[in-house]
Structure 1
Amino acid sequence: MIEQGLFRITISIVCTLSLYLFSAGQTFEKLPLDPNGIDEDLILGYVHNAAEDSLSLITSSFLSYAQNEDPSRLAEAYYYRAMYTSFIFDYPETIVLTQMGLNQKETSVDLLDRIHKLSSTAHLFSGNLDSANYHLDVILEHEDSVDPEFLAEVYYARYQIQFTEGQDEKALENLYKSLELFEASGDYSFAATIRSYIGVIYHRMDRDSLAMVYQQEALDYFIENDELDNASYVYLERGNMLIDLGRYTNAIEDLQTGIDISQEIGHIGNVANGLNILGRALARNGDIKGGIEKNRQALALCRDYQIPIGIASCEVDLATLFLDIQEADSSLKYSIELYEISRREGFPDYEEDATDLLARTYAMKNDFDQAYKFRTKHLAIKDSIYSQETAEKMAELREVYEREKNLREVESLKNQAKIERLKRNGLLGGMGLLLLLSGIIVNRELQRRKKSRLLLEAELELKEARNEKLRQKIEFKNRELSSNALNMARKNEFLQTIDEKLKSISIEGEAAKSIHELKNDLRIEGQMENNWDQFMSQFKETDPSFYQKLNESYPDLSKGELRLSALIRMNLGNKEIARMLNISDEGVKKARYRLRKKLDLLQEDSLEAKLLSL
């Protein structure tokens, strides 16, 4: 079930590679004659082997069979045919076919959900983001009954749309949902790929420390499990991030590692892309000649394997580098080639780059007539592209479309020679490259958020430290207050004991006078205000708001009643209070009675509860 789900994502995105559904060496070139043998696994097998002709034949034949002999399977037939048209990147036809499938009656909810998801992908790559969202909404309306593994794919599809729209927070939320479901199902490989995508989002949000953590987690899993194809994509992703951060030495190291792995496993498209990015990194690090050499190597590979979008990308970089070092003839050569291929292949954004480079290069050569001609063309193309509100999204989708189409063609050549080495997770790498390429377009626009995020984290840590320090201080004050209260009670008890003993001594004359003076001194000591002032000061530090509230509510309380209130709030008993105040137990009861009256308490009201509530 997990493998089927991953293949469905393949259909939705890049229609790349997998081996888990079929054993090594099994072929799908022979068209099954029995209609009952035609199912989604079979269709995905053709996709896996990039058998375009056989895929076209079997899906069209099955659709004809359903139309003429078994209308109950029409929805299924339209779905399989739409899988084929999606495979060849004919998204308008995919939209038509999926709609016809949805129009069929008595179709299972599971099949309808899969048709909706495929339709959403077709709308996404056609630039119809509202329609893409609508088809996913239909599935999510009953998400509680959707198979968890398929639901993970739906969350991922939602993320793709939000990524395209630049809604990073929402995209991140859906990635986390998808991650949780894939991990719960035990698909740790796809979960690792999701972690890589999370890293890309965090990089776009300028939370680069988190981005690097998630990239490293994905990389660790792929290396540990010998999934080198996926590891190479992560190295290239991270290398591109490091370029954005100005860490060119680290970027060069990661990019070279990704290129080496791709060469080892025969992933030519990835090698070409890596060399192109590496050339950019070398140039920004000051090695212009090294950058030019790597870009030329990338261009040669793209030409050998007929990857038009790769050719255009390399020629932009080469023309720009030669223009920067004022080698006008070389810049003109690559600019003209770029102009020709962009017009031939229908790449309006690259045609815009080409006309700009040609105008600047001809101006450097003092050919101002040609410079004016191409500057006029450049402005016309720029106006035609950017006058539309969705121009940026269209450019991004076009780049995704063309790059992935050519990558699929490269992978098809590679499959025939190394099918034993390829596994299901090759498709994940394709998606990683998709995100890498699309992320390049917009990730430089969001740099302003990083400082505020780091500042917020620092403030939260400082606040937590201050709260902990305050808590420790309050605990210490409470212990100190309780200790002082106990000492005062013991001292008063001791003074009372001495006073009682002195009263029992019967002496006359001068000695009697001295004893009388000593007894007076003891009573004075027992009532010393300094002791109470120190105690009350400590109490106010521990419980600063209590006296403020008590005085505001009952301003006519005496100093003695305030002391009694504090001792009751400390949960001391009558005997302890008597020793503290140096009075009898009966005196405490009378003092409590007077305090209750001043607080307007009824007979059934609790004095302790009243004071503790303040």
Structure 2
Amino acid sequence: MKALTALFCCATLLVVTIPMTAQKNQKIDSLLEVYANQPEGIEKVKTLSTLFTTFLYQDPDLAKKYAEEMLSLSRKINYDRGEALGLYHIGVCFTNSNNVDSARTYYRQSLKLQEKVKDEKTRANALDGLAILAYDQGNYDEALELLDETLAFFKTTPVDSSSLASTHSFRASIYINQGKFNIALKECMAALDIYNKFDDEIRKADALGVLASIESSLNNFENSIKYNKEALEIYEANNDLYYSAQALNDIGNVHYYLKEYREALEHFERSLEHSEEINAKALQATTLGNMGKVYSENNQTDKALTCFTKGLKIVQQLEYRFKECEILNDMGIAYSKDNQPDNAIPLFDKAIAIANEIQSPRNLEISYYQKSLAFAKLNQPVLELDNYKAYTKIHDSILNLEKSKQIEELRTIYDTERKEQQIVLQENEIELLGQQAEISKLQKLLLGGGLGLSLLVIGFGFYGYRQKIKRSQLEREKLDAELAFKKKELTTHALHLAKKNEVLEGLKQKAKALKASEGSGQGYQQLIQTINFDQHDDKNWESFTRYFEQVHKDFAGNVKTRYPEVTKNELRFMALIKMNMSSKEIANILNISLAGVKKARNRLRKKLDITPEESLEALIISI
């Protein structure tokens, strides 16, 4: 039965794919015929641009040829807009072939020309190109600043566009690398929503790939494979070899994490075949490194080292220092695992030098830890301890960095939500000011025209009365919006307070576990004390109290009047109940256990003299 199902699926795929491929080939043939017969002019420039886009990921050399011809023709006929776009296209070619300096030069030339022609869309694309170069070099903040300029342009367009979605998708990739997965997920879903509206399959596949990366980072491996396979199907249907290779590599990685080494190797081999066909050097190196890790896990050291050596040679030619550091570490691990620690240690030393140079704490952590294990195999306890201490120091700094990243992510989400809420209020205020201006204009007209025409006055009076009703309605809507804004701000602040304490508690427990297992107490104790201080920081409560009183005026005063014996902590507890917070959220916000929440409820019931039949929540909500 299983075999029949597989056969049916294959047959279906053939039926669908052959017509699609035939249609695409017909389109290409038609384009080439138009190109061959067109006279030199703006229309031919546009055809060359379309041909460039068509062949970019199928035949990069041919695509570059069309971009260069497009640039040459645009200059010949003095078509500045075509020249700016041609410069951008050539920049893309150099980006894909990992020629960073040339790519940057062409993007900047394109931007300079766009100041003259005011082609904002091509300008946004060139900014995206520069952002990609910054991203590849690990300059994430610079990349985000460039993308902010791109978004500023798209805000002036009346409708969503595929390019806007690409920008959201790219921002998601950056946030993934910064460890801000919740923000990345929001950006990615925004991109997918736009792609679905425009039915842009290729770009949708790009966003699915980013979504797969997020799921993988969150250890949701099944979802990651599902999204990557959806993306792969689209790329293969469009004969997009570069991104097919990327998707295959990503699927192989997930299988590797799941210790499904046979499936991982199958996908890596297919990825390598595609990347070699289109001469995508960086992708070849990444895939070879991944294949080496699989062979190492299968104790096939010779095959592993062959893959690592090939990958290392490529990244050294490309001067990809981060990837070079990563492969050196993986080679060292393979040697150490094969009981060749003498061969492993020099590789770890090289990796440490590069990691210090490029400021990569993750690679540095791996290098020192693996080097300490290598010295343990050589029975050199002093060197083993020295390297382990270096590892522990870096590991502590990474823990602190992760904590900072998670708190920063919460702050970013909170600030974004506040801005969105403020925009709604501003829109209501603008509409209200417009109505007031219209009524003021009406009053001036009445005074200017004289009051003798009673019919006209009555007519305008009736119109003014209607406008006054409308203004009152708008004022009510503004007040409702302000109250809704304050309620949402209060709830958002409370939930972020809960999430922050949950993050801190998780880090504290992790630090305690590491302290107990590794016996290095001082650094971990300092981290634990810092977290304890943050969890009991009263500044957060001052902000919460301020927001709460704006929404629930006189609540604290009414409670104190009716129940003067209620303490400050019990008043906080009552405030959270009035907001309909769950027991888990209350526990996280107050930094107590669920059992502690239950005890607090019971104590409060006694203090408020509530019978078993009465509801604590109903009483608090009524105050």
**Larger proportion of helix:** 2
Q: TM-score, normalised by structure 1?
A: 0.46
Greater Rg over alpha carbons, structure: 1
Higher relative contact order (CA 8 A, sep 6+): 1
Q: TM-score, normalised by structure 2?
A: 0.45
